[in-house]
Amino acid sequence: MRIVRRDLVRNGPGSVKMVPVDSDDLWFAYNLIAPGDSVMAATVRKVLREAASGGRDAERVRLKLEITVEAVDYDKVGSILRIRGKNILENEHVKIGAFHTLELEQNRPFVLRKKVWDSLALDVLHLMATCTYPGASADLAVILMQEGLAHIFLVGRSMTTTRARIETSIPRKHGPAIAGYESALKKFYDNVLQAFLKHVDFNVVRCAVIASPGFTKDQFHKHLLLEAERRQLRPIIENKSRILLVHTSSGYKHGLSEVLDAPNVMNMIKDTKAAQEVQALKDFFNMLSNDETRACYGPKHVEVAHDRMAIQTLLITDDLFRNADVATRKKYVNLVNSVKDSGGSAHVFSSMHVSGEQLAQLTGIAAILRFPLPDLDDIEM
């Protein structure tokens, strides 16, 4: 995200003009923009005009509109951010108070004006500004597979997208049916290879990981290299060394966290947010299994723990901030701030990452405590 102009007061009103550069930036914008703010951007509006003959004429006009945000919607599949709200800028075509939906696109500047730039928003801004150089992108392409099922994920800086899912039924191999097994398996690998070529661009991703339980990954890797040789697929041949093999216990989506945990993959991504999140969540689960009373999850329990100044590490998903009403958002912001102030650490998980999803399943907020609190059990969740 390129910040063109910044004009704000800490914990006060202000505006920022910025240009999203890649899809991750749209995600950041999604986190920043909350109902009540106002956004100004160039957009297209269908305007009805009365022609001389009395017939209505619809014309698409490019204009600059500023709207107060009512709802923000992020389209994962198409990477589009839609902001819906009422117009507040005087305009010859659009009345004040008319509803409009802005679509924020890449490489188009927009201005965000907020009433209160709280610490969280400033953090996001800071993060966006510093991560502008391409090297910081954690882009990792992961092919997670098992016999008959394969997923292709792209693990980015702040989000993980599922690019493809391939599922086929592969017969078992007994006696005469072996031939059928081989051909079905080969067809499966071909499908996965096609998806791989389509979605994995080695110019963007740092490396590709093939992960599976058993020997499927080795078989697929062999098949991949053979096909690349046969069909002279330059991208794969050149980047042979950037393909890693990792062992997981299953081919389902939650196996992705195991992939990120593997040592050789961890090396690749250790400087990124994704890795930190995975580590923090792992710590939480370890604590839970070792000493149940020193870990808690759920808003009520975490609040109680916070009241007693017991939180050492706070894990929270950004889901909870986004689109919440002002009071709730303020509460969570305060929570994060006070944990940081009291010497603890707070991790804001991106809900688009696997670890963020896992945390979201557990109500979205969890904490590792400084000292055990056994009476939390009695409190309703």
Binding site for other proteins (CB under 8 A): 169, 171-178, 180-181, 213-215, 219, 249-250, 252-254, 258, 285, 288-289, 292, 296-297, 358, 360-363, 376-377, 381
Q: Which residue, 4 or 177, is less far from other proteins as judged by CB?
A: 177
Give strand pairing partners of 3.
Answer: 18
Q: b/e string for 30-66 if b means 16 or more Cβ within 10 A? A: bbbbbbebbbbbebebeeeeeeeeeeeeeeeeeeebb
To the nearest whole angstrom, how small is the minimum distance from the Cβ of residue 345 to other proteins? Answer: 21
Q: Which residue, 173 or 331, is less far from other proteins as judged by CB?
A: 173
To the nearest whole angstrom, how small is the minimum distance from the Cβ of residue 74 to other proteins? Answer: 22
Cα separation of the two ends of the chain: 39
Q: Which residue, 31 or 358, is less far from other proteins as judged by CB?
A: 358
To the nearest whole angstrom, how small is the minimum distance from the Cβ of residue 218 to other proteins? Answer: 10
Q: Do the strands 207-212 and 311-317 form a parallel or antiparallel pair, or are they unpaired?
A: unpaired
Dihedral-angle region of residue 363 (phi above 0 means left; psi in -120 to 50 means alpha; beta otherwise): left
Instruction: For residue 105, give both structure tokens.
Output: 């696109």
To the nearest whole angstrom, how small is the minimum distance from the Cβ of residue 239 to other proteins? Answer: 27
Q: Which residue, 16 or 265, is less far from other proteins as judged by CB?
A: 265
Match 């008959």 to its residue by tokens: 148
Whether the Cβ atoms of residue 227 and residue 234 lie closer than 8 Å to each other: no
CB neighbours of residue 129 within 10 Å = 14
Whether the Cβ atoms of residue 276 and residue 241 lie closer than 8 Å to each other: no
Q: Which residue, 44 or 178, is less far from other proteins as judged by CB?
A: 178
Q: Coil, strand, or helix at residue 330?
A: helix
Q: Which residue, 161 or 293, is less far from other proteins as judged by CB?
A: 293
To the nearest whole angstrom, how small is the minimum distance from the Cβ of residue 231 to other proteins? Answer: 24
To the nearest whole angstrom, how small is the minimum distance from the Cβ of residue 179 to other proteins? Answer: 10
